[in-house]
């Protein structure tokens, strides 16, 4: 049987990849990698080409096979695929732990760093060597053999726990559904959302309107449904996913997994000589210490909470004055916030949807980056895809193709919720001297087209789309040819959100909105009066959203600074403490947000969720230069391209920011952007 994962393909042959291919392919590739690493250590003297580039060539083969498998597990999940993915995760974790603790390989890198060759290497190559030496030490290369074995065991355990956590959240999300027989039982829900719910029912051979916990349906109910009891029901179901509470209590419970993950992370950190996992996390980030991170978060909380409290006071007063409850609950907040927004600014997300059909938004977004960076985005129909909804494109500069990407925009069954970007191929020069172009996966979970109408996006979804495309540009516009620091690789985690949050700003500018929008029936751009209302409403409840994100960031970071495996119920205690300090809306006791917090328990944001706010300061400050120079000033766009996007992780993140802005970032830029400046 031929195995497509063992063949060299410019792009993954998704139509040919089957679950039974996965384990044999990864086993074969890992065996070849281990042999290859041993062989490259036999050739002396060591050089960048013979060790670093040789290792990159070996490991790119693993990435080419594993990237589509990992992606399919997220977007086309099945029991067979999941089992194969879980099996291979453990094997891959073992390999990287072995390599990280390979003393001869570490010494080869050290020899290169101390050689005359090192000084003559380009900046990117020196950064690859420096990062590798740091990562060897953070993988336990200096530990005694017995402690190395324990470190390896913990790495494998953490990898498996991450995967199981995500699987539980996905299963819990899929497990809940509610069939509503009549349209009249969904008062206030917009026609667009009703059509999608009806489509959900038809796909399950049911009649009526099928409610799920997928984001488009959940948000439609929470934001628009007049039935307070139904809002509470969905709020509870969503907020207790994968926990020991709620409608599926105990069935997919992540409680023990969280404790096991936190314990394993702490033990690994202590093996390496750190006091806690947060210290280990910061060792790879732009922030210089745990104290700096906590000070940053506390400072933002102090400056924004007073504004958030005013937001809540206004919302409570509005709800009481318009037939709402005396005691505003969490499941009331999105509903009355949307009502107040409509009353205060005479605009709503649903009124905006017809002006943001997905094809028009995509075309407008591609025009934004053409003006900024002199690139063209064109459809490419020759790329194999995993689902009929997937759109494929290539990026051209000066007529030459420089990158490709996939857009998987719409929610469906067996697809992980949320929105994200991941790399399919990384820009690099291979061992034959050929340039491998970067390729990105861009994934969202919007409501799809209904019958003959295109998908109509809320303005919030437009912002999400721009955010993920910003990540994609960071990966695809790189000019670095060394894979470990090419594109998003090697970028400090607390700086990686800079390009994504930077691009969001163009969703709020009259000049760019003029071509991002266009009515799906008439093609008319967003009318001036609606545009004016949208822009006036930009900072509506910005402070409430700020403290909500700070709640997540502080909870995550304090949890990883102070976790004690012997203390019971510590996760909830720390979350309650953070909420007491910064939250302006408190959820009920039977709410288990942390059990579905995949960013820190199933993803790469452990002791790093603060990165969103950290990078938002960077992005607000960077964008302020475009406001000073002109929105589409070519020189400014070219400077952002050359100092940030093209450099990838080849230089220190602060140095790159200073190269663009001429100084270090200022937190006041974010406060001004969100309407909270003194």
Catalytic residues: 468
Query: In the chain, helix, strand, coil percent, each to 5?
Result: 60, 10, 30
Contact 241, 212 (CB under 8 A): no
Distances (CA, A) of 448 to 117, 199, 217, 287: 54, 10, 11, 39
Q: How far apart are CA 428 and CA 56, in angstroms?
A: 9
Sign of torsion, CA 195 201 207 208?
Answer: negative
Bond from prior residue into 45 cis (ω within 30 degrees of 0): yes
- Contact (Cβ atoms closer than 8 angstroms) between residue 438 and residue 475: yes
In the structure encoding, which two tokens stand for residue 232, read together? 């509470």
User: Within a 13 Å sphere around the CA of 188, how many CA atoms are in the beta-carbon half?
Assistant: 17
What is the C-alpha to C-alpha distance for residues 44 and 528, in angstroms, rounded to an integer?
69
Total Cβ atoms within 10 A of residue 630: 12
450 three-class SS: strand
The distance between the two most distant Cα atoms of the chain, rounded to a whole number of Å, is 80
Burial degree of 23 (CB within 10 A; 0-12, 13-18, 19+): middle
Distance of CA 597 to the CA centre of its chain: 13
485: Cβ contacts below 8 Å, ≥ 6 apart: 124, 127, 128, 131, 648, 649, 650
* 117, two tokens: 């060759």
* CA distance readout (Å), 656 to 389, 528, 673: 37, 38, 22
């Amino acid at each position: 049987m031929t195995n497509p994962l063992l063949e060299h393909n410019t792009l993954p042959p998704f139509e040919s990849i089957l679950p039974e291919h996965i384990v044999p392919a990864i086993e074969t590739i890992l065996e070849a990698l281990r042999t290859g690493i041993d062989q490259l250590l036999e050739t002396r003297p060591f050089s960048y080409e013979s060790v670093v580039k040789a290792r990159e060539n070996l490991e790119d083969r693993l990435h080419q096979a594993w990237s589509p498998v990992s992606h399919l597990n997220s977007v086309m999940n099945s029991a067979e695929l999941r089992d194969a993915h879980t099996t291979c995760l453990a094997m891959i974790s073992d390999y990287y732990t072995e390599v990280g603790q390979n003393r001869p390989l570490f010494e080869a890198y050290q020899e290169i760093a101390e050689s005359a060759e090192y000084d003559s290497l380009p900046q990117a190559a020196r950064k690859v060597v420096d990062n590798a030496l740091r990562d060897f030490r953070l993988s336990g290369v200096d530990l005694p053999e017995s402690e190395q074995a324990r470190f390896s065991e913990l790495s494998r355990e953490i990898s498996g726990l991450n995967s199981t956590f995500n699987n539980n959240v996905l299963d819990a999300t899929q497990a809940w559904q509610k069939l509503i027989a009549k349209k009249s039982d969904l008062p206030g829900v917009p026609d667009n959302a009703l059509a999608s719910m009806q489509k959900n029912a038809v796909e399950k051979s049911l009649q009526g309107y099928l409610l799920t916990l997928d984001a488009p349906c959940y948000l439609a109910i929470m934001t628009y449904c007049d039935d307070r009891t139904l809002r509470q029901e969905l709020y509870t179901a969503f907020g207790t996913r994968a926990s020991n509470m709620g409608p599926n209590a105990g069935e997919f419970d992540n409680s023990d997994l969280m404790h096991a993950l936190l314990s394993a992370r702490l033990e690994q950190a202590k093996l390496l000589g750190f006091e806690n996992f947060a210290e280990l996390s910061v060792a790879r980030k732009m922030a210089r210490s745990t104290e700096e991170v906590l000070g940053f978060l506390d400072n933002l909380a102090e400056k924004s909470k007073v504004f958030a409290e005013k937001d809540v006071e206004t919302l409570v007063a509005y709800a009481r004055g318009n037939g709402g409850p005396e005691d505003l609950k969490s499941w009331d907040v999105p509903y009355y916030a949307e009502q107040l927004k409509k009353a205060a600014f005479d605009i709503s997300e649903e009124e905006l949807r017809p002006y943001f059909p997905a094809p028009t938004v995509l075309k407008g977004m591609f025009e934004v980056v053409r003006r900024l960076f002199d690139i063209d985005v064109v459809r490419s129909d020759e790329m194999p895809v995993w689902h009929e909804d997937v759109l494929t494109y290539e990026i051209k500069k000066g007529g030459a193709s420089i990158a490709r990407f996939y857009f998987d925009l719409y929610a469906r069954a067996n697809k992980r919720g949320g929105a994200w970007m991941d790399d399919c191929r990384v820009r690099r020069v291979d061992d034959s001297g050929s340039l491998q172009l970067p390729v990105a996966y861009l994934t969202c979970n919007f409501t799809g087209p209904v019958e003959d109408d295109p998908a109509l996006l809320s303005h919030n979804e437009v912002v999400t789309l721009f955010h993920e495309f910003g990540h994609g540009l960071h990966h695809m516009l790189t000019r670095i040819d060394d894979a470990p620091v090419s594109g998003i690789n090697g970028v400090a985690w607390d700086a990686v959100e800079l390009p994504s949050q930077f691009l969001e700003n163009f969703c709020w500018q009259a000049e760019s909105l003029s071509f991002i929008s266009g009515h799906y029936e008439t093609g008319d751009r967003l009318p001036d009066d609606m545009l004016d209302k949208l822009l006036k409403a930009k900072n509506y409840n910005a402070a409430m959203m700020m403290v909500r994100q700070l709640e997540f960031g502080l909870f995550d970071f304090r949890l990883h600074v102070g976790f004690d495996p012997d203390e019971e119920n510590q996760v909830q205690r720390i979350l309650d403490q953070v909420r007491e300090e910064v939250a302006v809306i408190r959820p009920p006791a039977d709410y288990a947000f942390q059990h579905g917090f995949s960013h820190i328990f199933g993803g790469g944001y452990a002791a790093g969720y603060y990165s969103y706010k950290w990078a938002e300061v960077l992005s607000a400050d960077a964008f302020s230069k475009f406001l000073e120079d002109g929105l589409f000033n070519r020189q400014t766009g070219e400077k952002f391209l050359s100092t940030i996007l093209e450099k990838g992780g080849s230089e220190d993140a602060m140095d790159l920011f200073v190269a663009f802005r001429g100084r270090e970032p200022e937190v006041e830029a974010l406060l001004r952007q969100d309407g909270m400046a003194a």
